[in-house]
Amino acid sequence: MHQRTRRALAALIAAPLLLGTAACTSAGGDASDGDAEQDVTITVMGKPAATNEAAVALFEEQVAAFEKEYPHITIEATDVPWDAKSFATRLAGGSAPTLLRVPLTEPPALIERGQVADIADVARELESFDKLNPRVMTFLERGDAVYGIPEKSYAFGLVYNRQLFEQAGLDPDRPPTTWDEVREYAAQISEKTGKTGFGEITTNNSGGWHLTGYSYTFGGRMIEQDSDGTWKAAFDDEPSREVLELWKAMRWEDDSMGAEVLGKQEDLVAAFSAGNVGMWISAPPDVYPNYINQGGDPDAFGAGPMPQGGGDATLAGATVLMVNATATQAEKDAAVKWIEWRALRPNVDLEAAAQTAEASAADGLPVGVPVLPIFDDATYEAYQEAIAEYVNVPVDAFAPYVASLSEFEYVPEPEVASQEIYAALDPLVQAVLTDPNADIDALLADAGNRVDTILAQHAS
Amino acid sequence: MTTTRERTGGPAIGRATRAREAPVEKKPRRGGQRRRAALAGLAFLLPALLIFGFFAWWPIAQSLVLAFQKTNLIAPAEWVGLRNFEILFSDPLLPRAALNTLWFTVLSLAIGLPVPLLCAVLMSELRRGGTLARVLAYLPVVVPPVVAVLLWKVFFNPGEGGAINALLGLVGLGPFPWLQSPDLAMPSLVVVATWSGAGTAILIYLAALTGVSTELYEAAELDGASVWQRIRSITLPQMRGVILVLLLLQIIGAIQVFTEPYVMTDGGPANATVTVLLMIYRYAFLFGNYGVATALSVLLAIVLVIVSAVYLRLTRSWSTR
């Protein structure tokens, strides 16, 4: 072989390798910690879906104002929402954004796997940090470390269609408060209107999520901790059995749950917005903006208390903001500044609250949806006063839900392996709703074994 | 079928003979030149080999290692021996998923093998509109899988308004719960998988059919053979090579079924459509347990290799007859 050919060949082989090395070097270079004021670009979750044009416009205004205030920070926002399935893939693949927006079920596993950063040094300096609801913060703190900040919190309640209530001869101002009433109302709605009386979701872990929330209302818990610290399944008992029997009766005796029971939350929001579902369980403040965005009639929307079976409790959760573990110090600083700007400031800075409310109202976005506050009561009251003149949601429609919030105990989702537990419970819920001969005792025992296995693996 | 055997065996024997004869023919001083030429060839191949090795073989080697580790892909991996396999075998869902996958494979062969073959034979008989038929047959392949699967979800709506139920209602059948029923969910998924995969199989069968000599058909017609006899005695034997390869690909594809259960049923109702690949996906991306997911992937790969080897062994005599 000629020397020239050999050189060319060597270059051919070496070039891709060198390029690869160069790529690695530049990636590594970015990871070095630097000056807090250096130019930094962060990717953030939480941009509203493109179909919600008004919300996107407001979001972009907030980004522009933020970038003007902090010229060294550039925000790249994504409207891809958290998803139980794809989220872990993105984290593992390194394509997850700097700022993560996740439900409260996720932090324990994310913290344990080292996938989120400790932001204590920056977060504790925020003025409003001490006013944050300690009940939510328990899930986000480990000793002195702080792994996230809540954006909003929610409690389960009944979402219902006031017009279908009227058509069925029910009083729309008096939503059901017990499960017996729910069953009765659902049958009546189905019979009188031909629509689904009570909608249910069972895939993507939502069946397990709902079984958990419903069991709480009968006084049940999904898992319990032994004195030696080990967790085990605790749902093979009366509360869960009551929920499953209720479902079975509504599905197969009353035929009030419709034929479509193998869906997830988004499917039910769509069916409910189209006026095809009488009642279902969710977080009403979260459902309302999606309901409006999908063309739901504001006057038909109703939010009632979580129906009870004697437990006087409801499942409570939150959406929290966390920073990717791969973020540099500068990125962490920028992410926390953005959290303060977008999520905290509009709640505590009354001027900002009023401005945001005014802009939202002008864009036709819902303003004043009653929520479970992430700050203490005094802060929330001041906030409500500040935005009062821009409120455009039918607050009265939420009144039964809001009134119930102070009556119930808030029970968090399972402390460990919540998503795995929900995934193990989905088939149980599906079995009851798709098989008229489902053996509830056998299903509960089977699911119990499966959850015990999950918990044992989790501990090892 | 002497001709076929000669045709199949011919080139290989020829190559072997030439290879044996080669050293005798060439002069000794040309050996160094040949070696250099071979080295140069190898050197030219090297970048491609490196890239292929890096992107194809390296991940496979990595996954073998990962099956014995506990990792979250961020912190350093930890060796756990056979722990991942222990977790896997203690999972009560595994036998269910394996049986479901087997059931899907059997069903998809029972429906997915004869349907495209029949379509191809019928289409090859068309005097007019053959192109249109081919386009229509291939169209499902062009539709993005997730879109197609979601469309089918609408068709399978369990109410009386669902497209399929409405059609069946015209003849007084149903409504059936389809995806909502533990018994009907899997066959429904097979229908979708067959629909979306049949186009490619039909095109391949059609191509193979053009290779069948028309003289054979003419001779058979002269002998008074019926259509069925012609298909059985000419078409199928002439196409057996293609059929066997497609069958193997179909088996491998069916065992790796994922999109349909993932998008349409999420493994439900009541685990009726949980497949092995869905379990791998859940372990990895839902529970963040990459070690167990990889262990199951390795097991699946081993099963596929065994199935393929057994299949090739069993069909060897038939495919070269």
Quick one: B134 and B257 in the same domain?
yes
Q: What pLDDT is attached to residue A460? A: 67
Side chain identity at A350, as an amino acid letter?
L
Quick one: B147 and B258 in the same domain?
yes
| Chain B nearest-CA residue for A11 | B47
A113–B44 CB contact, under 8 Å: no
Q: Above 90 in pLDDT, residue A27?
A: no
Site from A21, A105, A247, A262 to mutate, B interface, most B CB atoms within 10 angstroms: A262
Residue positions counted in chain A: 460
User: What one-character-per-residue DSSP string does A371-430 give?
Assistant: -B-SB-HHHHHHHHHHHGGG--S-HHHHHHHHHHHTTSEEEPSPSSSHHHHHHHHHHHHH
Distance CA(A373)–CA(A135), nearest Å, equals 11
Quick one: B42 and B99 in the same domain?
no
Q: What pLDDT is attached to residue B175? A: 84
Q: Flag whether B309 is in a domain.
A: no
| Chain B nearest-CA residue for A194 | B159
Q: Above 60 in pLDDT, residue B26?
A: no
Q: Above 50 in pLDDT, residue A154?
A: yes
Percent pLDDT > 70 in chain A is 91
A435–B43 CB contact, under 8 Å: no
Residue with tokens 């290692």: B65
Quick one: which H or E segment has residue A148?
A: strand A148-155
Q: What pLDDT is attached to residue A160? A: 97
Q: How confident is the model at residue B7 (pLDDT cuts 50, 70, 90)?
A: very low
DSSP H helix total and E strand total for chain A: 19, 14
Quick one: B45 and B101 in the same domain?
no
ipTM, interface predicted TM-score of the complex: 0.72
Q: Flag whether B270 is in a domain.
A: no
Q: Which of B224, B248, B264 is the last residue of a domain?
A: B264
Residues of A with CB below 8 A from B179's CB?
262
Distance CA(A405)–CA(B291), nearest Å, equals 43
Q: Give the number of beta-carbon pairs within 8 Å between A and B.
A: 118
Q: Flag whether B194 is in a domain.
A: yes
Quick one: which H or E segment has residue B69?
A: strand B69-70
Quick one: B99 and B209 in the same domain?
yes
Q: Flag whether B316 is in a domain.
A: no
Residues of A with CB below 8 A from B177's CB?
259, 434
Nearest chain B Cα distance for residue A360, angstroms: 34
Residues of A with CB below 8 A from B265's CB?
203, 262
Which among A261, A431, A453 has CB closest to B91?
A: A453
Which among A6, A203, A460 has CB closest to B266?
A: A203
Nearest chain A Cα distance for residue B231, angstroms: 44
Q: What pLDDT is attached to residue B68? A: 93
Calculate the CA dihedral of residues A217, A401, A302, A53 and round it to 10 degrees: -110
Residues of B with CB below 8 A from A326's CB?
74
- Kind of pairing between the strands at A277-282 and A148-155: unpaired
Quick one: which H or E segment has residue A103?
A: strand A99-103
Site from B62, B287, B289 to mutate, A interface, most A CB atoms within 10 angstroms: B287
Q: What is the largest CA-CA distance in chain A?
A: 94
Could you tell me if residue B167 is left (phi over 0), alpha (psi between -120 and 50 degrees) or otherwise beta? alpha
Q: What is the largest CA-CA distance in chain B?
A: 86
Quick one: B55 and B137 in the same domain?
no
Dump pLDDT digits (tens) for A274-299.
999 999 999 998 899 889 989 999 99
Residues A344 and A66 sit within 8 Å (Cβ to Cβ): no
Percent pLDDT > 70 in chain B is 88
A103 φ/ψ angles, rounded to the nearest 5 degrees: -70, 160
Q: What pLDDT is attached to residue B314? A: 83
Q: Flag whether B315 is in a domain.
A: no
Closest C-alpha to A248, from A176, A183, A315, A311: A183
Q: How confident is the prediction for chain A on average, in pLDDT?
A: 86
Residues of A with CB below 8 A from B43's CB?
1, 6, 9, 13
Q: How confident is the model at residue B159 (pLDDT cuts 50, 70, 90)?
A: confident
Quick one: B54 and B117 in the same domain?
no
Nearest chain B Cα distance for residue A248, angstroms: 14
Dump pLDDT digits (tens) for A45-62.
988 888 778 788 888 988
Domain with B41 in it: 33-59
Q: Flag whether B149 is in a domain.
A: yes
Quick one: B43 and B101 in the same domain?
no
Quick one: B46 and B147 in the same domain?
no
Quick one: B219 and B148 in the same domain?
yes
More confident residue, A86 or B129: B129
Quick one: B48 and B142 in the same domain?
no
Instruction: Identify the CATH number of the domain in which residue B207 sits.
Output: 1.10.3720.10
Q: Which of B217, B232, B264 is the last residue of a domain?
A: B264
Residues of B with CB below 8 A from A114's CB?
72, 74-75
A430–B39 CB contact, under 8 Å: no
B39–A1 CB contact, under 8 Å: yes
Which among A12, A85, A449 has CB closest to B92?
A: A449
- Show the CA angle centred on residue B69, arms to residues B66 and B72, nearest 5°: 85
Q: Flag whether B50 is in a domain.
A: yes
In this structure, what token pair is assigned to residue B254? 């069916």
Q: What is the mean pLDDT of residues A304-310?
A: 96
Residues of B with CB below 8 A from A450's CB?
92-93
Q: How confident is the model at residue B5 (pLDDT cuts 50, 70, 90)?
A: very low
Residues A288 and A264 sit within 8 Å (Cβ to Cβ): no
Residues of B with CB under 8 A from a CB of A: 36, 39-40, 43-44, 46-47, 50-51, 72-75, 83, 87, 90-93, 157-159, 175, 177, 179-182, 265-271, 281-282, 284-290
Nearest chain B Cα distance for residue A203, angstroms: 6
Which among A5, A13, A430 has CB closest to B268?
A: A430
Q: Above 90 in pLDDT, residue A377?
A: no
Q: Flag whether B114 is in a domain.
A: yes
A433–B269 CB contact, under 8 Å: yes
Which among B177, B266, B270 has CB closest to A431?
A: B270
Q: What is the mean pLDDT of residues A226-250?
A: 94
Q: How confident is the model at residue A324 (pLDDT cuts 50, 70, 90)?
A: very high
Decide: helix, strand or coil at residue B79.
strand
| Chain A nearest-CA residue for B278 | A85
Q: What pLDDT is attached to residue A212? A: 96
Q: Above 80 in pLDDT, residue A366?
A: yes
Dump pLDDT digits (tens) for B109-135.
998 888 898 888 888 877 788 888 888
Q: How confident is the prediction for chain B on average, in pLDDT?
A: 84
B266–A426 CB contact, under 8 Å: yes
More confident residue, A222 or B9: A222
Residues A54 and A356 sit within 8 Å (Cβ to Cβ): no
Quick one: B41 and B131 in the same domain?
no
Q: Above 60 in pLDDT, residue B14?
A: no
Give me the number of domains chain B comprises. 2
Dump pLDDT digits (tens) for A335-364.
999 999 988 988 888 988 898 888 888 888
Distance CA(A331)–CA(A44), nearest Å, equals 11
- Taking residue A351's Cβ as centre, other Cβ atoms within 10 Å add up to 10
Nearest chain A Cα distance for residue B288, angstroms: 6
Residues of A with CB below 8 A from B87's CB?
457
Which among B74, B93, B286 has CB closest to A85?
A: B286
Residues of A with CB below 8 A from B86's CB?
none
A325–B74 CB contact, under 8 Å: yes
Q: What pLDDT is attached to residue B321? A: 54
Site from B55, B71, B72, B78 to mutate, A interface, most A CB atoms within 10 angstroms: B72
A88–B288 CB contact, under 8 Å: yes
A423–B286 CB contact, under 8 Å: yes
Q: Which of B247, B264, B281 is the last residue of a domain?
A: B264
Q: What is the mean pLDDT of residues A5-31?
A: 39
A427–B36 CB contact, under 8 Å: no
Dump pLDDT digits (tens) for B231-288.
888 888 888 888 888 888 889 889 999 989 998 888 989 899 999 999 999 888 877 7
Say what the pTM is. 0.78
Is the link from the previous residue into B175 a cis peptide, with omega within 30 of 0? yes
B180–A423 CB contact, under 8 Å: no
Which among A6, A115, A262 has CB closest to B180?
A: A262
Distance of CA B62 to the CA centre of its chain: 24
Q: What pLDDT is attached to residue A444? A: 95
